[in-house]
Amino acid sequence: MRLATVRTTDGTRAARLEGDRLLLLRAPDVGALLASMNSTSRMDTTAALEATGEIVFADASFAPLLPRPEKIFCVGLNYRAHILELSRELPSYPTLFAKFASGLIGAHDDLVLPSVSNAVDWEVELGVVIGRRIRRGTLGQAHDAIAGFTIVNDVSMRDWQGRTTQYLQGKAFDASTPVGPVLVTGDEIGDAADLEVRCELDGIVMQRGRTSDLLFGPAAVVSYISQFTTLCPGDLISTGTPGGVGAGRNPQVFLEPGQVLTTAIEGIGSCVNRCVPEKG
Ligand code: ZN
């Protein structure tokens, strides 16, 4: 199943992809839909997925897939090849930082380059969406708690990220992180264990990796985080990025107004975001 959150004249709605149509559901977004499906009986799940209208996928305006996650976690350095190319030791524990809901944008929204940063960079990442509440979960329980997968670009302001040893300020800018366009559930995509992840700038491939290279895979990260905080339906975990970011190039390359950033994952689709300057 493929789920999206789309903008309508009456606010956002969760939607289910059926062929080239998005069937509009009652829930206002995918996070609310997952929460309702988690708390109701199977019959209510059927009602939650019942169509109340439809729009053509190609005409849809996508909101952030999860407009209001209670928690958003990101994993730093998680692709083996990328860690080794940086001549670092493979870590024993995942590096984690957080983002806020205000940082998320839709899959086709303009990416506004903040006037206060000169080093806006890209990071294609597999996004894990939580479907069931989980606390202190085993690997198996973590696997069962994952609703499915989406695409995230953990757009990073490197000049701010590098000001201190904590990543947060370079990662938590308003409206900087594309998420979507769809959530692909586990029945369709399995464990997302070996998918190509790719980032293109104006059609030129900048990053290419495979999720099989993840040091801490989706279930491992979910299980680990659940040891210290409860994960809830609609929470989002971005699993880290492979090599090829702009800051790692010689010379360095950063995003400029007018460029188009494409963030793609095999079997899920792509986010396509045009870079625009901040007004005023
Ligand atoms: Zn990242």
Q: What is the 3-state secondary structure (H, E, C) of 23-84?
A: EECCCCCHHHHHHHHHHCCHHHHHHHCCCCEEEEHHHCCECCCCCCCCCEEEEECCEHHHHH
126 alpha carbon to ligand 1 midpoint, in Å?
10
50 alpha carbon to ligand 1 midpoint, in Å?
35
123 alpha carbon to ligand 1 midpoint, in Å?
6
Taking only the tens of pLDDT, the chain with its 280 residues reads 999 999 999 999 999 999 999 999 999 999 999 999 887 555 578 888 999 999 999 999 999 999 999 999 999 999 998 888 788 899 999 999 999 999 999 999 999 999 999 999 999 999 999 999 999 999 999 999 999 999 999 999 999 999 999 999 999 999 999 999 999 999 999 999 999 999 999 999 999 999 999 999 999 999 999 999 999 999 999 999 999 999 999 999 999 999 999 999 999 999 999 999 998 7
Q: Which residues surround ligand 1, an ion (CB under 5 A)?
A: 123, 154, 241
CA distance to 3, 16, 144, 156, per residue, from 210 (Å): 23, 27, 22, 21
76 alpha carbon to ligand 1 midpoint, in Å?
6
273 alpha carbon to ligand 1 midpoint, in Å?
17
Contact 112, 143 (CB under 8 A): no
Pairing label, strands 260-265, 104-105 = unpaired
Phi, psi at residue 272, to the nearest 5°?
-130, 115
221 alpha carbon to ligand 1 midpoint, in Å?
14
96 alpha carbon to ligand 1 midpoint, in Å?
10
pTM above 0.85, yes or no: yes
Site of tokens 């209001």: 68
55 alpha carbon to ligand 1 midpoint, in Å?
33
In eight-state DSSP terms, residue 2 is E
Q: Which two structure tokens, joined as six digits, stand for 102? A: 């205000």
